[in-house]
Amino acid sequence: MITKIMNWFDDRLPITATLERHLTKYPAPINMNIWYLAGVLLVVVLVIQLLSGIWLLMNYEATAEGAFASIQYIMRDVEYGYIIRYMHTTGASAFFALIYLHMFRGMMYGSYQKPRELLWVVGWLTYLLLCMLGFTGYVLPWGQMSFWAAQVIMSLFGSIPYFGEDLLTWIRGDYLISGITLNRLFALHVVLLPLALIVVIFVHILALHEVGSNNPDGVDVKKFKDKDGVPLDTKPFFPYDVMHDLYAIGVFLIFFCTIMFFYPDGGGYVIEYVNYEPADNLKTPDHIIPAWYYTPYYAMLRAITFPLFGLSAKFLGFVVMAAGIAIFVALPWLDRSSVKSIKYKGIYSKVFLVLFVISFFVLGYLGSVAPSPIRTAVAQFFTATYFAYFLLMPIYSKYERCKPVPDRVQLS
């Protein structure tokens, strides 16, 4: 009976085939390690953000007069409103923490190399959308930091030569950050960007399942198949990966809920203390510091202190900052190595990758503290090493000596 019903559906819609292809029978390499968990956890966080976002939306008021008070209304008068809001604020930080780990995994194991170039590009798009979502969402509570962070970031468009000022007015919809700006950022944050994010993530997963998952050895598992055509060094997603992921989700949620219930402002990182004060366009906070996940790029922006070729320092800083985010997309074409995984790459790749990680953390720290001449100099140095990882890659990845790559995956 059930088979009959399923057959009726399958003749009209490929339900079973799709489920098998993308879930139950998807062949996942057997040597995937802990780094491969970030992907599934990102999907969990996406669901958390979408659900908590919808419930926040039921009580949020998107006006300059009412936004701040409506957040406090959610926190105090809405039943369990504070849980919904803290879920969303903690989720935002978790989203970035996980996507950085996910990207680093890709960089470490060469997951962007042929044939996964498009997969990487689409993944980079999700990161870009996430950055925009983070920024637009941060403005909505209309606290002091919301307002001034918006002021700083939007004013960057004003530094573009010739048409910058006009562009800035067009983006803001006003001559200064106002309720009109809030309304348009709200529209982007709750409709356009999440919609785009869902589509892009869908395409990302589709692309992944077309080319198959990479693995820590960077070998092609599809080379050796059994008599049914299933790659030898893989296991079906269900039940093996599902059980594995369930356990990982449990561990992740313990951390997530510890922050959410016990340290909801995360020492000022998850929710900045300055945002306890409503936006005031006549009172600038002492230090304007973005959310922690943008601080590496904020440090790059501030590191450029000198005009060049008739272009202002601010504009150049903006360009460097944007390039810092954009340059990831070029990785598949910058890497000329014959091997994928860092396990078999030569010493230069390893050194530069470590240098990149150090640069990222140091810049992240520098972006979160007030600038001083020494700190600016350090930021300049590490901005250079950050870009060196990418720009020198065509040279060092091509000429270094790599270790021989085995045919099959290695189990430790």
Partner 1 sequence: MKRITLLAFIVSFIIAFLVSNNLSAAAGSPCGHYLSEESMIEGQCDSAQVDPTDIPSLQRGAQIYMNYCLGCHSLKYARYKRVSEDLGIPLDMFQENLIFGDQKIGELMHIGMDSKEAKTWFGNTPPDLTLEAGLRGTDWIYTYLKSFYIDHSRPLGVNNKVYENVGMPNVLIHLQGDQYSVCKQVSMIAYNGGIKQDPLSGKQLKEEKCGFLEVQKGTGTLNKEEFDQSMRDLTNFLGYMTDPMKKERESIGVYVLLYLFIFTILSYLLYIEFKKDLH
Q: Which residues bind partner 1 (CB under 8 A)?
A: 30, 33-34, 69, 72-73, 75-77, 82-83, 86, 235, 239-240, 243-244, 246-247, 249-251, 253-255, 257-269, 272-274, 276-277, 285-287, 289, 368
Which contiguous run of DSSP H or E holds residue 241?
Answer: none
Smallest gap from residue 241 Cβ to partner 1 (A): 10
How far, CA to CA in Å, does 397 sit from each of 112, 345, 349, 360, 388? Answer: 14, 8, 6, 21, 12
Which residue matches tokens 């090493």?
A: 385
Cα maximum dimension of the chain: 77
Smallest gap from residue 119 Cβ to partner 1 (A): 25
Neighbouring residues of 317: CB distance < 8 A, sequence distance ≥ 6: 156, 300, 301, 302, 303, 304
Smallest gap from residue 254 Cβ to partner 1 (A): 5
Query: Do 82 and 75 meet the contact criterion of CB atoms below 8 Å apart?
Result: yes
Torsion of CA 168, 171, 174, 177, to 10 degrees: -80
Query: Do 273 and 134 meet the contact criterion of CB atoms below 8 Å apart?
Result: no
Q: Of 52 and 113, which has the nearer Cβ to partner 1?
A: 52
Displacement of CA 66 from its chain's centroid (Å): 30
Query: Do 291 and 272 meet the contact criterion of CB atoms below 8 Å apart?
Result: yes
Smallest gap from residue 372 Cβ to partner 1 (A): 13
Smallest gap from residue 292 Cβ to partner 1 (A): 8
Q: Give residue 160's identity as a one-letter amino acid code.
A: I
φ/ψ of 276, rounded to 5, equals -75, -5
Q: What is the DSSP string of 103-160?
A: HHHHHHTTTTSTT-HHHHHHHHHHHHHHHHHHHHHHHTT-BHHHHHHHHHHHHGGGGS
Q: Of 82 and 104, which has the nearer Cβ to partner 1?
A: 82
C-alpha span between 71 and 77 (Å, rounded): 10
C-alpha span between 109 and 103 (Å, rounded): 10
Q: Of 5 and 374, which has the nearer Cβ to partner 1?
A: 374
Q: Of 250 and 404, which has the nearer Cβ to partner 1?
A: 250
Smallest gap from residue 38 Cβ to partner 1 (A): 11
Smallest gap from residue 239 Cβ to partner 1 (A): 6
Which residue matches tokens 């954009």?
A: 326
How far, CA to CA in Å, does 189 sit from each of 40, 128, 192? Answer: 23, 13, 7
Q: Of 273 and 399, which has the nearer Cβ to partner 1?
A: 273
Smallest gap from residue 290 Cβ to partner 1 (A): 12
Smallest gap from residue 248 Cβ to partner 1 (A): 8
Smallest gap from residue 155 Cβ to partner 1 (A): 22
How far, CA to CA in Å, does 233 sit from each of 106, 216, 286, 318, 408? Answer: 20, 13, 57, 46, 7
Q: Of 228 and 286, which has the nearer Cβ to partner 1?
A: 286
Q: Of 363 and 393, which has the nearer Cβ to partner 1?
A: 363
Q: Of 129 and 363, which has the nearer Cβ to partner 1?
A: 363
Q: Of 5 and 282, which has the nearer Cβ to partner 1?
A: 282
Q: Of 82 and 387, which has the nearer Cβ to partner 1?
A: 82
Q: Of 233 and 335, which has the nearer Cβ to partner 1?
A: 233
Smallest gap from residue 405 Cβ to partner 1 (A): 23
How far, CA to CA in Å, does 374 sit from each of 217, 312, 316, 378, 379? Answer: 41, 22, 20, 6, 9
